[in-house]
C-alpha cells in the first residue's frame, strides 16, 4: 500500500471540535457503524496499516459509515511483556532486555502528524468513512496511547491521548492532559472516545457528556465479561451509543520467543493460545446490545444506529441536562495543554501575531 501525500502540503488540518448544544438534528437519522476486532501485526507497522486498509475496505463494503478500531491497533498492545520490570521494580537497574524491547516498541509507534497519519487519512477518504483508530503515538522519546479521528474527506480531525494509563502501562506510556478530550460534530452525530479503563473515570465521562457526545467510542484491551457491564452502564448513563472495539489475539500474533516472551502465565503459551478473546460490542442508549459481544475470533461487528434513540433515552435521563443539579454538583475541566518546558519568547511572538492579525483589515 503506497503512502498518499497530503494535498495541503503543510500537514493534515485539525478540525475544531463541537460546541455544546451545536450540531444538526439527529432525530431520525440512521448510521451504520462497525467495530473492528482484529490483531495488530506486532512490531510491523507497515503490515498493520495494510491490514487496517483491508478491514476498512471490507467494512465500507457492508455500507458502514463509521469504523472503530481497538486500542493500540497501530503500534500494538504489549500483552505479556513487563519490559524487564518484574513484580519488584528496580529503577536503579532496569533490565537491558527490557530496554531493547522498548526500543523496538518505540520504533513501531507513529508520529502525529506523520506519514502513517497521512496514510490513514487517505484510507478514510478512499472508502468514504469516518475512522476512529487506536495508535501508539511517539512524541520524541515518550509514547502515548492515543485515538485518532478522520473524516470521509480524508482529513485528520485530531486526537485523544489516554489520560490515565493503567498499572504497568505507566512504565511505557506518558499521560495525556485535558487538551485532548475532543468531541467532533459530524453529519453522523457527535463522536468522541475514551480508552480502556479511563472509561471507568466518572468525571472524565462527564466531560464528554458535557460536550454532547452521541456516539461514544471505547477502544479497549479489556476482554473480561465485567467490561460489558461498564459499557452498558455508560450507554444508559450518557444516553449515547457505545462502540467498544478490542483486539482478538493469539500467541502467534506476537513475535516468537526469545524475541518476545509472555510473562505472568506460568509457562510460555502455545502459538494458538488465545491471549485476548475480544468481546467487542455495540450498545444502544437504552442499554440494548445491538451487536456482539464476540469472543470467537477476528470479526467486523456491525449495527445500524437509530439516532432517534438518543432523544428517547434523554427523555428519562439527561445527565448534564434536566437530571443535573449544578448548584450542588458541578465539574470544572482544565482543558489547557501542560508542557514540561515553555519559552517566553514563543509566547511573546504568539501575542504579537494575534495583535497584528486584529489590527490588519482583510
In-domain check, residue 324: no
Query: Confidence class of residue 258 from pLDDT cuts 50, 70 and 90?
Result: confident
> Please, what's the b/e burial string for 204-220 (b: 16 or more CB within 10 A of its CB; e: otherwise)?
bbbbbbbbbbbbbbbbb
- pLDDT, average across residues 5-19: 39
* pLDDT per residue as tens digits for the range 30-59: 999 999 999 999 999 999 999 999 999 999
Angle at CA of residue 178, ends 176 and 184, nearest 5°: 100
CA distance 224 to 288: 19
pTM of the entire structure?
Answer: 0.86
Query: Confidence class of residue 186 from pLDDT cuts 50, 70 and 90?
Result: very high
* pLDDT per residue as tens digits for the range 51-78: 999 999 999 999 999 999 999 999 999 9
Q: What proportion of the chain, given as a percentage, has pLDDT over 90?
A: 75
In-domain check, residue 69: yes
CA 129 to chain centre: 16
Cβ(292)–Cβ(301) below 8 Å: yes
Residue span of the structural domain in which 312 resides: 30-85+94-316
CA distance 168 to 145: 13
Q: How many domains does the chain have?
A: 1
> Please, what's the b/e burial string for 232-248 (b: 16 or more CB within 10 A of its CB; e: otherwise)?
bbbbbbbbbbbbbbbbb
Choice among 71, 116, 237, 309 that is catalytic: 71
Strands 189-193 and 183-186: antiparallel
Query: Confidence class of residue 351 from pLDDT cuts 50, 70 and 90?
Result: low
CA distance 238 to 218: 13
C-alpha cell at 302: 456491525
Q: Report the CATH number at residue 164.
A: 3.60.110.10
Does position 239 have pLDDT exceeding 70, yes or no?
Answer: yes
By CB atoms closer than 10 A (0-12, 13-18, 19+), residue 222 is buried
Which neighbouring-strand residues pair with 28?
none
In-domain check, residue 199: yes
C-alpha cell at 222: 479489556
Torsion of CA 221, 224, 225, 231, to 10 degrees: -30
CA distance 81 to 293: 26
C-alpha cell at 131: 475512522
Q: Is 259 a catalytic residue?
A: no
In-domain check, residue 51: yes
By CB atoms closer than 10 A (0-12, 13-18, 19+), residue 162 is buried
In-domain check, residue 65: yes
The helix, strand and coil proportions of the chain, stated in percent and rounded to the nearest 5, come to 30, 20, 50
In-domain check, residue 344: no
* pLDDT per residue as tens digits for the range 78-130: 998 888 775 443 444 556 778 889 999 999 999 999 999 999 999 999 999 99
The SS3 call for residue 317 is coil
CA distance 173 to 154: 28
In-domain check, residue 177: yes
| More reliable by pLDDT, 351 or 305 | 305
C-alpha cell at 77: 498492545
* pLDDT per residue as tens digits for the range 141-160: 999 999 999 999 999 999 99
Cβ(131)–Cβ(154) below 8 Å: no
In-domain check, residue 216: yes
Amino acid at each position: 500500500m503506497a503512502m498518499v501525500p497530503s494535498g495541503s502540503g503543510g500537514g493534515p488540518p485539525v478540525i475544531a471540535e463541537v460546541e455544546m448544544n451545536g450540531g444538526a438534528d439527529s432525530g431520525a437519522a440512521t448510521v451504520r457503524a462497525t467495530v473492528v476486532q482484529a490483531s495488530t501485526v506486532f512490531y510491523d507497522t507497515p503490515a498493520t496499516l495494510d491490514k487496517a486498509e483491508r478491514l476498512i475496505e471490507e467494512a465500507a463494503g457492508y455500507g458502514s459509515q463509521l469504523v472503530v478500531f481497538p486500542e493500540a491497533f497501530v503500534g500494538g498492545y504489549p500483552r505479556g511483556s513487563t519490559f524487564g520490570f518484574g513484580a519488584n521494580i528496580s529503577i536503579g537497574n532496569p533490565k537491558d532486555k527490557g530496554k531493547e524491547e522498548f526500543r523496538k516498541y518505540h520504533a513501531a509507534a507513529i508520529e502525529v502528524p506523520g506519514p502513517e497519519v497521512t496514510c490513514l487519512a487517505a484510507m478514510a477518504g478512499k472508502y468514504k468513512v469516518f475512522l476512529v483508530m487506536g495508535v501508539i503515538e511517539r512524541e520524541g522519546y515518550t509514547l502515548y496511547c492515543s485515538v485518532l479521528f478522520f473524516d470521509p474527506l480524508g482529513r485528520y480531525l485530531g486526537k485523544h491521548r489516554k489520560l490515565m494509563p493503567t498499572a504497568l502501562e505507566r512504565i511505557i506510556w506518558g499521560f495525556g492532559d485535558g487538551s485532548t478530550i475532543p468531541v467532533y460534530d459530524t453529519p453522523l452525530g457527535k463522536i468522541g472516545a475514551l480508552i480502556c479503563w479511563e472509561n471507568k473515570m466518572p468525571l472524565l465521562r462527564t466531560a464528554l457528556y458535557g460536550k454532547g457526545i452521541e456516539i461514544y467510542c471505547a477502544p479497549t484491551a479489556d476482554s473480561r465479561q465485567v467490561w460489558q457491564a461498564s459499557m452498558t452502564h455508560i450507554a444508559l448513563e450518557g444516553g449515547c451509543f457505545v462502540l467498544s472495539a478490542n483486539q482478538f489475539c493469539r500467541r502467534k500474533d506476537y513475535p516468537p520467543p526469545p524475541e518476545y516472551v509472555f510473562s505472568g502465565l506460568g509457562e510460555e503459551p502455545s502459538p494458538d493460545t488465545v491471549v485476548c478473546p475480544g468481546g467487542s460490542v455495540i450498545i444502544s442508549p437504552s442499554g440494548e446490545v445491538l451487536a456482539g459481544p464476540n469472543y470467537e475470533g477476528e470479526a467486523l461487528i456491525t449495527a445500524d444506529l437509530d439516532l432517534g434513540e438518543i432523544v428517547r433515552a434523554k427523555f428519562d435521563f439527561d445527565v448534564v441536562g434536566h437530571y443535573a443539579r449544578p448548584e450542588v454538583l458541578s465539574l470544572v475541566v482544565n482543558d489547557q495543554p501542560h508542557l514540561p518546558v515553555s519559552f517566553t519568547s514563543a509566547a511573546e511572538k504568539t501575542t504579537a501575531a494575534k495583535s497584528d492579525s486584529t489590527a490588519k483589515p482583510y
